[in-house]
Structure 1
Amino acid sequence: MQLKYSKIRGFTLIEVIITSFILAVGLLAVVAMQAVAKRSSFETHQRTVAMILAEDMVERVRLNHIAWQANNPATVTVGDGQTARSKPACAEDSGLMTACSLADVVNYDLYHWEYGLYAKAAGAKGGLVKPNGCVLLSANGELTVVVTWLSRQSFSGITSSNTVTANCGAQSDKRRKMALTTRVAS
């Protein structure tokens, strides 16, 4: 006698478990990918803010180059671990400056730059983490502006031969640096 087997239809429990496991692994991969994207996005944002702040200081020195060259304050450091700068008495909140000395103009530039480093402006969000800014204007008109901040990830193997860049901010394997060097009119 011959037995006829009907075709088995539907899923077995084993097939459902295997499918669930594959889906779970796929979802974990998607979550991990999202975490990497978020971290990369944060690092990119920090670098963009640092570049904007460095360019801001370069433009401030270019606009007020007479005041900066007259005062030529060696290397100036602002930010984390430094004494906070105060706004010069001759400067108003509107930006109007009356009867200011050249030193006051330089201090006002540094005050506003420090303000930007910490993102203290009304409604500002997304400032740098533990920022420092360094400015060096040499006698020959070469201007170096460095912005440093703390990153989430360690990084090693890069050294700088430029002393302004190397000495700006606390040394750490998580410290990131953005440096701009240019010439200013004499």
Structure 2
Amino acid sequence: MKPAHRSLRGFTLLEVLISLLILLIGLLGIAVLMLKGQRASFEGYQRQQALAMAQEMAEKIRSNQGAAAAYVTGTTDGPNMPGRGGLFTTYQALSDAEKCLAADCDAAHIAQNHLATWDGVLVGASETKDKDTATPLRAGGIIGALGCVERPDAAQPIFWVSVAWQGEGDTGAPAATASACGAGLYGTAARRRLVTLSVATCLPGDSGC
């Protein structure tokens, strides 16, 4: 007859380790899901911000339709493209009259100021860290934002307002027929994100233009 106490034995060390391993695998799975959720949330936030930035410029063009052509930037990246900070830095040094705050300006001048302030929005100039330093860190923009205004057909008063930026990971690349804004800037085409709004304006000479 076997001793009764053998049926009451506890867990062995091996069983405890196996249980811990199963628990660890489950926790790792939860962590991966949380990470993917955070990444998707951040991607959605950046897209929402980019759309708001594009809408802001679209409204400015509509409000100054007579000089709509003066907003065209093309898609070639450079220091004076919206999103690179150069236009906004120059704008900050202007007088109130040059900013059209203390005097009336012509439509083309207003367009240039609109592009400069849009540049500030794209680089996140409204939210900065280390404001007391000579070069404060701009923290309000989206990653690698670039703004572009195009006129696909010179015979038509239709303009594309685009904002491109860098995504967190590779996804489907923008369509080949889409704006070239930001093309080649973010490592791979699948990492480039893009929103484009089409803005219809009046033709010069039309009433209300």
Fold match (TM-score > 0.5): yes
Q: Give 1:169 deviation, angstroms.
A: 2.1
Q: Where do 5+ consecutive residues of structure 2 fail to align?
A: 81-85, 129-137, 204-209
1:135 to 130, 149, 153: 149
1:35-84 Cα distance to aligned partner (Å, 9 max, x none): 2122222211211111000011111111121232xxx1373148963322
The aligned counterpart of 1:11 is: 11
Does the CA contact (< 8 Å) of 1:54 and 1:147 recur in 2?
A: yes
Percent of matched pairs sharing the same residue: 28
C-alpha root-mean-square deviation of aligned residues, in Å? 2.6
Does the CA contact (< 8 Å) of 1:78 and 1:132 recur in 2?
A: no
In 2, Cα distance between equivalents of 1:36 and 1:10: 40
The aligned counterpart of 1:37 is: 37
In 2, Cα distance between equivalents of 1:82 and 1:169: 13
In 2, Cα distance between equivalents of 1:148 and 1:113: 14
2:72 to 56, 66, 75: 75
Does the CA contact (< 8 Å) of 2:74 and 2:148 recur in 1?
A: yes
- The size of the alignment, in residue pairs, is 177
With normalisation by structure 1, the TM-score equals 0.80
In 2, Cα distance between equivalents of 1:79 and 1:122: 27
Letter of the aligned partner of 1:133 in structure 2?
A: G
Q: Give 1:185 deviation, angstroms.
A: 4.1
Structure 1 residue runs of 4+, over 6 Å off? none
Q: Secondary structure at the match of 2:111?
A: helix
In 1, Cα distance between equivalents of 2:51 and 2:196: 8
